[in-house]
Structure 1
Amino acid sequence: MLSSGRIRKLNPQVSSELRSQTIFNSLASVVQELLRNSLDAQAKVVEIRLDLDSLAVQVADNGVGIPADDMSMVGERYHTSKLKQIKDLPFISTYGYRGEALYALGLVSRLSIVSKSDSGDVTFVRMISYNSNTEVYDYQNYTNDGFFRVEPIKKNGTIVTATGLYCNLPVRRQQIRAVSQFKIIDEIRHIVFQSLVKFPDVSIKVLRLDHDSLNPDILINYSPSNTRKTDNFACIFRNIYGKSVLPKFHTLEAEQRGLQLTGFVGTDPVSSKRFQYIFFNGSLQGYETTRIAVNQTFKESRFGDIPESVSYRTGESPSKKRSRLSWVWPVFLVCIESVKKGATIEADEITKFVVKVFKQFLVSQGFQVDSGPSVFGSPRISLSPSKRRKTSPSGDEEPRVKKSDQLDSTFLNVAESGLTSGNYRIVRQLDSKFILVSSSNNLGGKVLLVIDQHACDERIKVEALFKDFIFLVLDAHTNLSLRVVEPVTFAVSSVEVQLFEEYAENLNKFGIRFIIEGLTIVVTHMPQIILEKSDIDADILRRWLLSHVNDLKEESKSAIVDTYSINDWFPFVRHLPTFLIDIINSKACHSSVVFGEVLEYSEMEKMVRQLLHCRLPFQCAHGRPSIVPLVNIQ
């Protein structure tokens, strides 16, 4: 414990270093600030180089460059060319204006700034090493080599190189190095994506040094190729996140009451809501209410339904094939611009406008949507041509139920019914479907309850199956991997390759092993529970695995399973891959007692007794209630 002492002012160097960590708290934040500087300098070509092992970054651009007379002030605190007085703030259109970024970066790295302005003939260099400044000098005296070699600037531009990040702050450096390179790259992809949406006419390349081959890996290589802004948006998205996430799309263009909307929407659902972006006046916005309304619209239209041609579950009705793959979310990007600059636009108005546009898209694809009352007329919308999707056949279908892996035990007030071991009596079987039970309630009276015999047996079996499978997963002496007769291969994007590389160990825990050959995944081993199924093809397996690695990336499931013990099997269920949860649920359902099956008294007694020992007795594997209270008897 630190001893108490007098309050005193921090040393200026200490306070500056502490402040620099609030500006640059990650490697991605360094890339973001330097990229924004390039875009503020009107650059049309930007190249970003990364050395993730040594924590070094270089950003080179062909912007206007820094005049020779200003080079001595570059990196000085509160020195900027973007702001002169406070009253100019509302009119600032650049990312930065405070004169803080390069100063803060010079406190925590060896920083070199090489620049040539469009009005000068000489390239100048300024070096700042952990706040130790040097004089500005001519590029001819600058020595450099290796991955971050700086070539002479021919016309104009700036090259900023920061090496040895946080070497003077070892604890902070250790924390940053502990972050997986995959997560760092993913953050940088997101930063570049946001920047390109605002500046789609800029070319950006991102390279990473591969220390094994000592050659650069190209992570991003985007150049605008279309004159239409909406086409460039889709090109940007595919370049950053891969074409497999957006195989087909429609461009969107709409206008209504002072709002202009451009963007795209994918025609195929995906397993994650992370690929949904709403920009307003060039800035990425939260607009959670708008996203919820859009997703609800897509859900009601049955956008994520699996076509009947997909054989997902042998013997299941079409209604049970729906949405089992969990690929129900649309991919979309919409950019909304206010025609009148500075005009106040209510969030609710934006939501109604965006939902209206997506409803018209769904109608154009053959989906049925409730258009509802017109809020303020129909927007003028242009959709790119596409093959219309056939509507599903009419007829009654089972209502959708809550996802089983959410494990929500809330159901009516059954817990207060007093139904506990030894406190109930089997009355009789009803219609060969239900078990009628009486029990003493908490109010001193009696209550009659109906137990769904199929749901009851399904809950008993599914918990036993989960417990057995998780025991095998957590047992260090058990290998779930069985070699498949014919390896299953499928193509993925470069981004998805990185996902498989990052989470290979997690998939191995569940018996799934694979090798990566370029942009192809070759699955060589699977657990018995998957091999038992006869209807698994490459496309379904690809969807399953991509859905799981995306869940791991978004941390909705834990990538680390070794921290659990067999006694923790129940909370561990939610971290199983969703497709394994679905398979186990289906297996329990198909092996359970069915409606119409006559049960002996001893069989009913055994089922109820086992149900009361379940961790989640009040619902079946698919979320339907297993016990319903009928009436209190005084």
Structure 2
Amino acid sequence: MDEPTIVPLPVVTRTKLRSTQILTSLSQIVSELLQNSLDAGARQIDIGVDCEEWICWVRDDGSGMSKGGMDILGKGLEAGRYGTSKAYAPDSLDDLSTFGFRGEALASCADICCLEIASRTARSRQTWSIIVKGSKTLYDGPAIRWRRESPGTTVCIRDAFYNLPVRRLSHPVPARTLDAIRREIAAFALVFPHVSFTLENTHTVKDEKDMLLRIPKTTSMLTTFRHLYGRALAQHVDEIDETSGELRLEGFISLDGAHSKASQFLYVNRHPITFCELHHAIESRFASSSFAKHALDEAGETSLRSTTRRSPRKAEKKPVYVLKLTVPSQQIDNCLEPAKAAVHFRNKGSVVSFLSSTIQAFLARHGFSPSNVVDRGSPAPRKRRKYDFEDDSGYAEPETISRQVSRELSPLPLYTREKTEELVWTDPLSGQIYVVDARTGNSYRQSEPPPVASDGVTPFGRQGRTLSRQKAGGVEKSAMPEWIQEALEANDIYTVAENKIPFLTHIPALDPDAAEQTHHHGCHAPTKFADYLRTGQPYADATAASSRRFQKSDLRNAQVINQVDCKFIACLIDDSSGAEGPAAGRTVILIDQHAADERVRVERFLKELCLGYLANVAAGEDEDEGSLFRLRELSPPVPILLSRHEERRLRDPAIRRAFRCWGVHFVDITEPTCGAESGVDAGSTSGYSQVFVRCIPEVVGDKLLLDDELRDFVKGFLAKAETDPSFAQQRCTALDGYPAEGDEDDEFRWLRALRRCPQQLLDLVNSKACRGAIMFNDTLTHTQCENLVENLSQTAFPFQCAHGRPSLVPLINLGKEDARHRRVCRWSSFG
């Protein structure tokens, strides 16, 4: 057999491989052309897209291209590649000042598209044009269609990916492509505020009013951000301009939190970058602060920091920022991939440290960081005491409070004896010197030795004990002062109102041999019911059912014994499978009555919600909206306040369809209700728009109408759709194979839609199920206990509540019933 030989790839193959790697989608093509326009010094960039026809064009007023430059591109294949007006000397490639320098974007377009360029320079009176397709020149001469009266360039792409049918089939749908292009333009507009941008969908545009995006020239990144997203997310901001050596960080961070990370923009040398360690450093700083809980809410101009505790169900706020990091070009490498969105640093540690310290300083300035606490040698930060110092407006600045606290505490002379553990404090009145534990606050006089219990345990210190303990008769007791003991005994308030919880001693196995073996090994100490429930673990005894797996069939066959302490239901489960081993036989279990009823209720609510969703998805757009979902008609419709950007997202038919699938219907939204799309003044508006909800799902209707739950649900849904473009599309597309054959007979078919249920709806359903369930100390009859256990056995997940807490715990294994050693037990007296 002949030895294999290595031969060079054909030129056509080489160029196609390069082109398909550089240009991956229609949005990537627009991005490359947009960057070329910015490198040409353009101040006005207009973009048109027709996703259905695979067409896009970019028009700018930059420096233009000469006819000689276009002739180089017209040579095709490799001869036309690597031609650029931004060429650098080999020794200066580490000092790049433009987005591109390799001359591959246009050549790649000529390989996989029909490329038309019409350009005019300041020295030329003629607009020259060239048309190239498949690296073959189709026309080269004076422009006919894209004539220009001033310098600039127009690049038009037609029939994109015509020779890559697989790329077309896997390409995102037009709505998602337009959204990606819109986000790409917005990202560059923020870092180039002196450039104006427009975007239009040429497939549907009829007038300038129909433009998808119009961004005017502004004076700063903040003004551009407010034009794009309104003032809702940038009402209160802290503008950043910090330097450290050759590093510089510019931009702003908002004090107003957002529901998603879609409003976070980080640039390195004006390049938008993908998620990397720099983003992680920012996230880590915000995560270790109180920003997520105490960020200002979107409530208009009068928004102040709330003094009430945020509900644990409320979504934590995400930071909003636009930051531009400038690093010397020789210190970074952003040529890792064609999009130039990934970077490597020569000294990554210094860059991350600089960024982290800037974020930490911002958090400290606005009271979100524990670094504001006055350090007096304590090894751990203490909680700052709250003082009410207000200015004329009634609002106390965090730094003002910090200064007042410092002046208030300064007269107390604290001297550090041991930095890591103890402090020395002198009482200004008595003159006595005390040693204070820095962590717990416990103290003793310096002239006296620290008290030590008889067992050698220090009454305070790292163990966190506040009262000394001593052993009397082998039993550890608290050495409580007599006057405290007498006060507690004399005060009826401290009397325990509940009866003592019954407890079981160890029950030996019924087999005499097993009983004798247990006797030799000793019996376990009495164990209370609360011990099992506190740990959530099964009974840790040799005869316990610790290794047994319970099934729903066990619950269906369970014998209800009685209610215990008005909190639990004791049941006897008999293993009828005939299994052998220590886990076989009869087992006593305790069922948490609240968790059990909560599980029954949450599945009933979710079933109604998910079945309505499945029916809506299967019906499509033609079905009557109200016939597939149990809806609550709101009359009059309920208004909710959204940011202008969110309202614009809600006008997307796909987003509204996704809401309808879950039973939320809006009054028709046709035109923006707040702010114009053109002009700089649009950014100075309040940035809010009012929309009206006319229908909501009945199952969570009461919950949605409480406080701001409806607004938070809509905002959370839109935030998820913003960060995950496929989120809304998944809810607009029918489930694969639904309804499946025989699916109607499956009682748990609703579980198929559960993974697509918005998290906000799940939280509301869980809350409703929890609040309305049977509570502790609710007395149940024997029949009610049986009904509850039966309903629990019919659920899909009977062994945990809606919040994940176990609904039952095995108590003890009684072994197999033996007719020779049968014992009579009065279960009615149990509990």
1:250-305 deviations in Å (ceiling 9; x for gaps): 32333456543222223332222232233333332423532541442355762369
* C-alpha displacement of 1:73: 1.1
* C-alpha displacement of 1:510: 1.9
1:477-507 deviations in Å (ceiling 9; x for gaps): 6244453211234455256424442222221
> 1:473 is matched with which residue?
613
> 1:518 is matched with which residue?
671
The separation in 2 between residues aligned to 1:559 and 1:184, in whole angstroms, is 18
Amino acid at match of 1:468: E
Query: Against the structure 1 CA distance between its residues 308 and 591, is the aligned structure 2 distance closer, same or farther, given a 3 Å change threshold?
Result: farther
> 2:697 is matched with which residue?
527
The separation in 2 between residues aligned to 1:614 and 1:458, in whole angstroms, is 11
Q: Which moved more, 1:559-568 or 1:542-551?
A: 559-568
* C-alpha displacement of 1:221: 2.7
Superposition RMSD in Å: 4.2
Indicate conservation of the 8 Å contact 1:359/1:371, yes or no: no
* C-alpha displacement of 1:143: 2.4
Matched, 1:453 2:593: yes
> 1:485 is matched with which residue?
635
Aligned length in residues: 574
> 1:261 is matched with which residue?
249
Matches within 5 A, 1:563-574: 563=735, 567-574=748-755
> 2:498 is matched with which residue?
none
The separation in 2 between residues aligned to 1:253 and 1:413, in whole angstroms, is 55
Q: 1:152 aligns with which of 148, 155, 173?
A: 148
Q: Which moved more, 1:344-353 or 1:459-468?
A: 344-353
Indicate conservation of the 8 Å contact 1:113/1:125, yes or no: yes
Query: Against the structure 1 CA distance between its residues 261 and 84, is the aligned structure 2 distance closer, same or farther, given a 3 Å change threshold?
Result: closer
Indicate conservation of the 8 Å contact 1:617/1:626, yes or no: yes
> 1:104 is matched with which residue?
108
* C-alpha displacement of 1:588: 0.9
Secondary structure, counterpart of 1:20 in structure 2: helix
> 1:559 is matched with which residue?
731
Secondary structure, counterpart of 1:469 in structure 2: helix
The separation in 2 between residues aligned to 1:299 and 1:81, in whole angstroms, is 50
* C-alpha displacement of 1:462: 0.3
Indicate conservation of the 8 Å contact 1:47/1:60, yes or no: yes
The separation in 1 between residues aligned to 2:596 and 2:349, in whole angstroms, is 45
Unaligned runs of 5+ in 2: 75-79, 301-306, 333-344, 378-392, 399-534, 539-545, 620-626, 674-690, 816-831
> 1:383 is matched with which residue?
none
Secondary structure, counterpart of 2:177 in structure 1: helix
The separation in 1 between residues aligned to 2:188 and 2:752, in whole angstroms, is 40
Indicate conservation of the 8 Å contact 1:189/1:240, yes or no: no
User: TM-score by structure 2 length?
Assistant: 0.60
> 2:58 is matched with which residue?
59
Matched, 1:163 2:158: yes
Matched, 1:180 2:173: yes
Matches within 5 A, 1:114-153: 114-134=118-138, 136-138=140-142, 142-144=143-145, 150-153=146-149
Matched, 1:422 2:554: yes
Q: Which moved more, 1:19-28 or 1:299-308?
A: 299-308
The separation in 1 between residues aligned to 2:287 and 2:299, in whole angstroms, is 23
The separation in 1 between residues aligned to 2:49 and 2:590, in whole angstroms, is 64
The separation in 1 between residues aligned to 2:548 and 2:361, in whole angstroms, is 49
> 2:21 is matched with which residue?
22
Matches within 5 A, 1:227-626: 232-256=220-244, 259-283=247-271, 284-286=273-275, 287=277, 288-298=279-289, 302-303=293-294, 322=311, 324-326=313-315, 328-338=317-327, 342=331, 347=348, 350-351=351-352, 353-367=354-368, 369=370, 418-420=549-551, 421-422=553-554, 429-435=563-569, 444-445=582-583, 451-475=591-615, 476=619, 478-489=628-639, 490=641, 492-493=643-644, 496-501=647-652, 502-514=654-666, 515-520=668-673, 521-533=691-703, 535-536=705-706, 540-553=709-722, 554=724, 555=726, 558-560=730-732, 562-563=734-735, 567-626=748-807
The separation in 1 between residues aligned to 2:312 and 2:651, in whole angstroms, is 24
Query: Against the structure 1 CA distance between its residues 97 and 305, is the aligned structure 2 distance closer, same or farther, given a 3 Å change threshold?
Result: closer
The separation in 1 between residues aligned to 2:590 and 2:243, in whole angstroms, is 56
Secondary structure, counterpart of 1:302 in structure 2: helix
The separation in 2 between residues aligned to 1:307 and 1:59, in whole angstroms, is 37
Indicate conservation of the 8 Å contact 2:661/2:731, yes or no: no
Query: Against the structure 1 CA distance between its residues 291 and 471, is the aligned structure 2 distance closer, same or farther, given a 3 Å change threshold?
Result: same
Amino acid at match of 1:595: F
Indicate conservation of the 8 Å contact 1:203/1:222, yes or no: yes
The separation in 1 between residues aligned to 2:212 and 2:163, in whole angstroms, is 29
* C-alpha displacement of 1:31: 0.5
The separation in 2 between residues aligned to 1:247 and 1:480, in whole angstroms, is 39
Query: If you compute each CA radius of gyration, which structure gives the higher value, 1 or 2?
Result: 2
Q: Give percent identity, aligned residues only.
A: 26
The separation in 2 between residues aligned to 1:14 and 1:339, in whole angstroms, is 37
